[in-house]
Amino acid sequence: MFKNIFHSHSSIMFLMDIDSKTIVDANKTALEFYGYPLVGMNISDISTLERGEIERNFEYIKLNGSMRYDEGHKIFSSDIREMNVNMSITSLGEKRYAFAILNDVTEEKHAKNMLERLSVTDALTGIYNRLHFNRELEKEIALFKQHSAEFSMIMFDIDHFKRVNDTYGHDVGDLVLKEVVRVVKEQVRATDVFARWGGEEFIIMAKNTPLRNAKRLAERIRSAIEKNDFEKVGHITCSFGISVLTPEDSESSVAKRADEALYEAKQSGRNCVKVK
C-alpha cells in the first residue's frame, strides 16, 4: 500500500537509510525533478548543507521522529533549488527509514528576499534607507555599551541641490543623487553602513573608526565628489558633519550632533568637513 502511494504521488518523495543517509527509493516525481537517478546516492551528494549539519538533522529525526527544514538541492541542470523538506521516520517491515516529502520553494524564497531587500533599501539609489540605518545604529550603540566598539557618524548633503532641480529638472536631480551614491560607494568600506537620510542628505556609520579616520574618510569623499564630472550639471560639492559616539549618547543624540556639524559646514561656506 505504502509503495503504491509513494510511486504514484505527485509530490517529490524519497526513502533514505536512516544510518547511512543513502537514498534507497525515489518516486517518479523526484526522478523527473532532479534529472538523475537518485537511488544509491547519499543525501550529501545533492544537499548544499555541510555534512555536520546533515548529521545533526538526522540525529534530531532519530530522537524526535520528524523534522521540517529548508535546504538547497542540486539538480541535473547544475541549478540550486531551495527545498522545504518534511522528513519523518517510517518503518517498512522491520527496518526504519527516513521518509522525505519535498517541495520546491525557490520562487517563494526569492519573492520573500526581494520584499526584505525592498523594505530596507532606498527605491531611487539602491542604498539602505533611513529605517534600516536606525536599526543598525541601535545595534551598534548596544555593542558600544558592551564592548566600547567606537564608531563615527558622517552626515552630508549636496550643496545647492534645489538649484540643480530648479535649473535642470527633477529627472536630472535624480541622476545626480545616483551618481553621488556611486562615487561614495567607491570610498566606503564593506563594513560601513551607507544610507539615504532623506532628500539630498546621506549618512554613513563608520564602524570601528575613530575621529581621525572618519575625518580622512569624509575628506576623501568630499574630494571625490568635487572632482567628479556630473552629466549635464558639471561639478557639484557636498558639506559634511561628523560626530563620534560617546557613552552618554542615544540614537538621536549622536545623529543630532552630526546634523549640527553639517549645519556648521553649511554656515562656513559649504564644501567642507566639520566635527561636533
The predicted-structure confidence for 123-145, as pLDDT tens digits, reads as follows 999 999 999 999 999 988 888 87
Looking at the predicted structure, is the pLDDT value of residue 88 above 80?
yes
> What pLDDT, in 10s, does the model give residues 210-224?
999 999 999 999 999
pLDDT for 151 equals 86
Helices 130-147 and 251-267 sit at what angle, rounded to 10 degrees? 110
From the candidates 200, 226, 248, 264, give the one annotated as an active-site residue. Answer: 200
Looking at the predicted structure, is the pLDDT value of residue 147 above 80?
no
Q: State pTM to two decimals.
A: 0.68
Respond yes or no: is residue 219 known to be catalytic.
no
> What pLDDT, in 10s, does the model give residues 173-183?
999 999 999 99
CATH 3.30.70.270 domain residues, the chain: 119-275
Looking at the predicted structure, is the pLDDT value of residue 2 above 90?
no
pLDDT for 237 equals 98
Share of the chain above pLDDT 90, in %: 81
CATH 3.30.450.20 domain residues, the chain: 1-109
Whole-angstrom distance, CA of residue 132 vs CA of residue 130: 6
Give the helix ranges, DSSP H, for 9-127: 28-34, 43-46, 51-64, 106-120
| Residue 78 burial (CB count, 10 A) | 6
CATH number belonging to domain 119-275: 3.30.70.270
Instruction: Identify the architecture of domain 1-109 in CATH.
Output: 2-Layer Sandwich (3.30)
Strands 238-244 and 273-275: parallel
